[in-house]
Amino acid sequence: MKNYQKLILILMLGLLIVACSNQNGTTDEDQPADGESSSVMSGACGISYFPILPDKTWVYRIYDENDLYVENRVWYEDIGDTSFTWKQEMESDPPITTEVKWNCSDEGLVSTDYVSSNLPMVMQTMGVAGDYQIETLEFSGVTFPASELWQVGSEWTGSWKVKSQLTIEDMGLVDAEIAVTKNDVISGEEPVSVPAGDYDKALRVDSTMLITTNITMQGMTLPAINGEYTMTSWFVEGVGMVKQVSEDASFMMELGALE
């Protein structure tokens, strides 16, 4: 039973790193002022509520139940007219890193690769000897819509099918097939305050994520694991996501700085 619980923890960690992050030491001059927006690139990748800015890092604070936080840094590399690479480094020992390839189209931004991370290194720090691989089998829908749809009432859906192979000492090879569906709706416009600043106008996006995980291990197919998570995110034009909360996952993340 302990091994099974540890397995579920590792699998869910790999999923929630991306699900909750679709993303110090700066002065006020470095911060985007209320009402101001950074320059946004043009073309299919130029969405003002999800700005893909070179040489910028979004520094988020992920809080625990005691209001203590770890930093989660997000930045973009390999930025082109039709694609870019999203990177993240979450504070831990060692840091948890993730990397995702995105494509840009007339419909919006599409994250076709679910996640590539250093979870094997993290597993070692948890005292788990093994390896972890994850592959996106298919994607449909849109991750974030085109600029003209960033208005109250807009809805969109993204769905992934993911295959994972996990090898753990004393457990052998574990296969998991994971189906993820994320439904989003822009529910309103409202002010929001975060450590990075006060914003009079932010679009509130309410999301529901459905995750079904089927696991086969040691010749047995385990009962499917079904999870449903709701979250709310606030996006500011020219800045991007500034806050995200989920009561289901006891999670809150705020923008601390834009470096």
Predicted pLDDT of residue 76: 92
**H runs (alpha helix) in the chain:** 2-19, 119-125
pLDDT (0 to 100) of residue 19:
42
Residue 16 confidence class, pLDDT cut points 50, 70, 90: very low
pLDDT tens by residue, 31-80: 344 434 444 555 678 889 999 888 899 999 988 888 889 898 999 999 88
% of the chain beyond a pLDDT of 90: 28
Among 210, 259, 200, 258, CA closest to 234: 200
Who's near 43: CB < 8 A, 6+ residues apart?
Answer: 81, 82, 104
Q: Please list, residue by residue across 187-226, b when 16 or more beta carbons sit within 10 angstroms of its beta carbon and e when fewer do.
A: eeeeebebebbebeebbbbebebebebebebeeeebeeee
pLDDT at 137: 83
pLDDT confidence of residue 218: 77
Name the DSSP class of 81: S
Average pLDDT over the chain reads 77
Q: What three-state secondary structure class fits 123?
A: helix
What's the pLDDT at 20?
40
Residue spans of the domains in the chain: they are: 2-258
Residue-wise pLDDT for 188-247, tens only, equals 999 999 999 999 999 999 999 888 888 887 778 888 888 888 889 999 999 999 999 988
**What is the reported pLDDT for 170?**
65
What pLDDT shows up at residue 236? 96
Report the C-alpha gap between 42 and 186 in whole angstroms: 23
User: How many helical (H) and strand (E) elements, i.e. helices and strands, does the chain have?
Assistant: 2, 15
**Residue 195 or residue 117, greater confidence:** 195
110-80-21 Cα angle (round to 5): 40
